Structure 1
Amino acid sequence: MSLLIGDTVPDFKAETTNGPIHFHDWIGDDWAFFFSHPADFTPVCTTEMGRTAQLAEQFASRNVKPIGLSTDSVAEHKLWIEDVNDTQNTTLRFPIVADPDLVISKLYEMIHPSESQTAAVRSVFIIDPHKKLRLTMTYPMSVGRNFDEILRVIDALQTADAKSVALPADWRPGMRAIIPPSIGDEEARAKFPQGYETIRPYLRTVDLEDAKRDAS
């Protein structure tokens, strides 16, 4: 069965480079950035692991825990981390799951047979503190992920949750948000006392920064 947005993600126990974990317990009250890569000691994967490590403070500031996975062993992961740190000028501290039997890869549908029967594609799962799947992205083996986009969608998801808004194309923090059609005008006036702009009856935009300025 496909894993759909809004579903509770499958729980699992696994060995990682930071020791054994029980996935839901490991997430705890934080968000998770769970991502797979095809294989250790490969060039694109090395850059992605390095970039995740370089962005550790960015993830932490958003209460997001990164966790990687490939179908290699813990021993191979640990040897590879030394290369990642050396070639990418970083220190990788987040856990990497070992999945040599493909159990977790198949559970999360990371094995795409047209790409490989035994290696995971570049899957991304953004998971909230309720263990709900909030976003998925899948990249082919030959193309590395865009980490600016990963951070952007985390910001968007967290802003949408906190402010009861939707976010337009290419939205970034500081830009105007959209009031969802499910919120009527009367409720919108109460939720957004800073005021909003009605472009069309179905398209109302609000400056969330105005609310911050009004509160200061």
Structure 2
Amino acid sequence: MENAAQFSFPRLNEPAPAFNVRTTHGERSLADYRGKWLILFSHPADFTPVCTTEFIGFANAAPKFAEMNCELLGLSIDSLFSHLAWTRNIKEKFGVDIPFPIIEDIKMDVARAYGMVHPGAADTQAVRATFFIDPNGVLRAMVYYPMSNGRSIDEFVRLLQALQASDEHGVATPENWCPGKDVIVSPPKTTEAADKRATEGYNTVDWYFSTRSL
């Protein structure tokens, strides 16, 4: 078994690991995305059916992500030429253009830095990992899927909407929150504040649970 130290795992609310890479759209670095949200996602291999459906899903949602100031960036441990051939095949067979870059990561440098390689799943492939990086380069969310099951792109749109709402308004969001639904007000942190909560005009169920509209 390989030394576990070879496989690093980034942590939420800390700077995302920097990278300088070759992609299907030319050279890219994490610094290029400063000022924008970035969704960095890995897939096990090019020319595989589950990954193909995911790339089509990301491509179809790309305009929605762009509206939210968010770029997309794919990755697999395949060559640049494999990426180019695969995206051209998706265009030919499915009629879908892939508008975002795909990282060539043959040496697995980015995959290892982001914890995309899980030895229990595969030593030479990246699992279905998805990372949300905010405009300041901070890692805000991580989502992992098994190799056998495709991701929900709609959920990533929803999660980004929730993250942006939390940042803008200083609130939390409940289960399956979508724009237009009430948000959660931060619980009071002192006895005095807890006593006042019921009089503050929120939809208060109890001192620790209050919601409001945006």
TM-score (norm 2): 0.89
Tell me which residue corresponds to 2:76.
70
Query: In 1, are the aligned partners of 2:38 and 2:133 still within 8 Å (CA)?
Result: yes
Tell me which residue corresponds to 1:181.
187
Tell me which residue corresponds to 1:124.
130
The percent identity for this pair of structures is 38
Tell me which residue corresponds to 1:22.
29
Tell me which residue corresponds to 1:164.
170
Once the 2 structures are TM-superposed, how far is the Cα of residue 173 of structure 1 from its aligned partner? 0.8
- Structure 2 stretches lacking a partner, 5+ long: 1-7
For residues 3 and 182 of structure 1, the distance between their equivalents in structure 2, rounded to whole angstroms, comes to: 31
Matches within 5 A, 1:16-165: 16-23=23-30, 25-165=31-171
For residues 187 and 67 of structure 1, the distance between their equivalents in structure 2, rounded to whole angstroms, comes to: 47
The RMSD of aligned alpha carbons is 1.9
AA of the residue aligned to 2:9: S
Shift in alpha-carbon separation, 1:187–1:155, aligned structure 2, 3 A = farther
For residues 132 and 35 of structure 1, the distance between their equivalents in structure 2, rounded to whole angstroms, comes to: 16
TM-score (norm 1): 0.89
Which of 9, 13, 37 pairs up with 1:2?
Answer: 9
Aligned residues: 203
Shift in alpha-carbon separation, 1:188–1:30, aligned structure 2, 3 A = farther
Query: In 2, are the aligned partners of 1:47 and 1:84 still within 8 Å (CA)?
Result: no
For residues 180 and 87 of structure 1, the distance between their equivalents in structure 2, rounded to whole angstroms, comes to: 49
- Structure 1 stretches lacking a partner, 5+ long: 209-216
For residues 163 and 89 of structure 1, the distance between their equivalents in structure 2, rounded to whole angstroms, comes to: 40
Query: In 2, are the aligned partners of 1:9 and 1:133 still within 8 Å (CA)?
Result: yes
Once the 2 structures are TM-superposed, how far is the Cα of residue 106 of structure 1 from its aligned partner? 0.7
For residues 157 and 137 of structure 1, the distance between their equivalents in structure 2, rounded to whole angstroms, comes to: 14
